[in-house]
Amino acid sequence: MTVHAIIGGTGLTELPGLTLSEARFIETPYGPPSADILRGQYAGNDILFLARHGHPHRIPPHQVNYRANLWALKQAGADAVLAVNAVGGIHAAMGAGHLCVPHQLIDYTYGREHTFFQDDIDHVTHVDFSYPYDEALRQRLIGALAAEGYAFSSHGVYGCTQGPRLETVAEIARMERDGCDIVGMTGMPEAVLARELDLPYVCLALVVNPAAGKTTGIITMAEIEAALKEGIAKVRAVLARALLG
């Protein structure tokens, strides 16, 4: 039976019918993960949770120990990863509250520890990353979104920036020319590290703000937090349905 790991905010553990049974801190060769790994049971299945930014939310995107997080989840028994990411909307369809299951990504980050294949390795390893998201998991999320009746996009290109600052108007214009539909700060190297560990990985992106230049005003944290609070209920419903599949 597949053990699914969910990476995202702490509010994702509030699934109706979920029983949490264990909180475990796992030491890794790459340092400490962001938080304890929570284990729970939902609909007869084991589920793992990891708060990407720590609990409480205190670790900025560029300082998340992505290697430790993925390694710890693998050691805890994860067979697949469902990642929840708050993003900005670039494409016109990606308004606040919209949900997207991206099929591609572009990495604009720098300086992050982005691979397990370095230091004291026996041979150089190149993983195929043509299609960064697992298609079977993507289809499961798409089916859950359709069943819930939420507005969503079944495809999209996720552009991952360094953060923690938001992007400039010119940067978003460049990303749009590159083909990006949404912009976030946590999609990489999380996705490729999962691939290196042979963990099927998928992203459920919640749009919490229009990207720079896609609105007449400035982007405020109050607006982002309000959209996140409203949208997380939809995310929980989608995950709950997907985990039943």
Over residues 2-58, the pLDDT tens digits come to 899 999 976 677 777 788 889 999 999 999 999 999 999 988 889 999 999 998 788
Q: Is 132 annotated as a binding residue?
A: no
**Model pLDDT for residues 77-104, shown as the tens digit of each residue:** 999 999 999 999 999 999 999 999 999 9
Q: What is the DSSP letter of 173?
A: H
Residue 245 pLDDT greater than 70, yes or no = no
What pTM was estimated for this model as a whole? 0.93
CB 194 within 8 A of CB 70: yes
The domain that holds 9 is classified in CATH as 3.40.50.1580
For residues 42-60, b (16+ Cβ closer than 10 Å) or e, as one string?
A: beeebbbbbbbbbbeeebe
Which contacts qualify for 219-224: CB closer than 8 Å, 24 or more apart? 219/88, 219/166, 223/96, 224/86
244, pLDDT greater than 80: yes
Q: Which domain holds residue 184?
A: 4-244
Is 23 assigned to a binding site?
A: no
Tell me whether residue 52 is annotated as binding.
yes
> Per the annotation, does 186 bind a ligand?
yes
Tokens of 112: 């992050």
Residue 185 annotated as binding site: yes
Q: What is the mean pLDDT of residues 203-212?
A: 95
Share of the chain above pLDDT 90, in %: 75
Domain count, the chain: 1
Q: Residue 209 annotated as binding?
A: yes
CA-wise closest residue to 72 among 91, 50, 53, 94: 50
For range 142-163, the mean pLDDT? 97
